[in-house]
Amino acid sequence: MAGGNHSSVTEFVLLGFTDLQELLFATFLLMYITVLVGNLGMIILIRTNSQLHTLMYFFLSHLSFLDVCCSSSIMPKLLSGLLAGRNVISFNGCITQFFFYAVLDTTEAILLAVMAYDRYMAICEPLHYLIAMTHKFCVQLVVGSYAVGSLNALVHTSGLLQLSFCGPNLVNHFYCEMPPLLHLSCSDTRLNKVLMVICIGFIILTSVLAIVVSYTYILLTIWNIRSAEARHKAFSTCTSHLMAVALFYGSAAFLYLHPFPQNGENQGKTASIFYTLVSPMLNPFIYSLRNKEVRSTLRRAMRKPFSCLYSHRSHSDQTKAG
């Protein structure tokens, strides 16, 4: 067994959702396809249109990438379990799923704070923005977010590998998450719980603090803008990010920062659905519907195939007429 522990459990059964499995399969499949199409479409749109080659959209493309990877680390296994009627995952597979999910989830939490700082610099310090927010510095911020996410996941994964799992092996969740796994361990899990509250609490609280401070200065700056059009544009950009922040941090804080009741997994599953599926599904729509640049670029991208088809037909008609 990995980590040299003395577990007798070699696999876990993810109980997930036991009722209305056919309906849930169709619903989750549709939502997962929406996540893939929306976020991959956002990435392609940003990469292929020079108008969106700015730092804000550089961060947004990484947010979309994290949303795709985060959902993909969980949803295929959940969908196959709903289709088969029983979701079994090996011990090593469970630990691997938890590690990658923890990396992606933590990285996204930090990246949302980085995006708030970027908006603060763009709105409150416009004269110093291009000097301070260089492409190299922004790449370092993104790499640092992934590094902190990997370190946090490594700490908790190492802690899980030190525990023993003697049975039962029924995980009352739809993926391998820390709280339900700790309930199944026959070892003393107090240190794991303390580390989870300290590490995740520190990441959430510092990230939220950075977002609150950034947007406090942003709102004060927007309030003093005399141009109504400029004020509306700045506020529209900020509200898109704040909606994404509220969805992500609200569900994460509910799951990790509440006490650990033995029967709390059902509430945890509901909260987990929000930041593993609902939030990644809504983020592309939030940013595209609330952002004029994305809307105009998307309209041009959608009109391009039709204009090419129209030009081709016109050329064909002229050829026939000739």
CATH of the domain at 158: 1.20.1070.10
Where do runs of H (alpha helix) occur along the chain? 21-48, 55-72, 75-84, 91-124, 126-132, 135-161, 178-184, 190-223, 228-256, 265-273, 279-289, 292-321
Q: How much of the chain exceeds pLDDT 90, in percent?
A: 37
Q: What is the mean pLDDT of residues 117-136?
A: 89
- pLDDT tens by residue, 52-82: 788 888 999 999 999 999 999 999 999 998 8
Q: What is the mean predicted confidence (pLDDT) over 160-180?
A: 87
When pLDDT is averaged across residues 43-53 and rounded to a whole number, the result is 84
pLDDT number for residue 1: 39
What is the number of domains present in the chain? 1
pLDDT at res. 156:
94
- Please state which of the ranges 16-25, 132-141, 289-298 shows the lowest mean pLDDT: 289-298
Choose the weakest-confidence range: 40-49, 55-64, 185-194, 237-246.
237-246
- pLDDT at 283 (0 to 100): 86
**What is the percent of the chain where pLDDT is above 70?**
81
Q: Is residue 236 part of a domain?
A: yes
Q: State which residues form the domain around 88.
A: 12-256+275-287
Residue 125 in 3-state DSSP? coil
How much is the pLDDT for 70?
A: 92
Inside any domain, residue 1: no
Phi, psi (deg, nearest 5) at residue 227: -75, 120
Q: What is the DSSP letter of 123?
A: H
What is the pLDDT at residue 9?
80
Q: Which of 152, 61, 169 is nearest to 115 (CA)?
A: 61
Q: Over the chain, what is the mean pLDDT? A: 82
d(CA 6, CA 14): 21
Cα gap 280→67, rounded to integer Å: 5
- On whether residue 319 sits in a domain, the answer given is no
**57 is a domain residue:** yes
Tell me the pLDDT tens digit for each residue of 202-222.
Answer: 988 899 999 999 999 988 888
**Could you tell me if residue 124 is inside a domain?**
yes
pLDDT attached to residue 75: 93
**249 in a domain, yes or no?**
yes
Closest CA to 268 of 282, 281, 253: 253
User: Does the structure show a pLDDT above 50 at 4?
Assistant: no
pTM (predicted TM-score): 0.83
pLDDT of 268: 63
Task: Determine, yes or no, domain membership for 311.
Answer: no
DSSP state of 86: -
pLDDT digit string (tens) for 275-310? 788 889 988 888 776 666 666 666 666 666 555 555
Residue 185 lies in a domain: yes
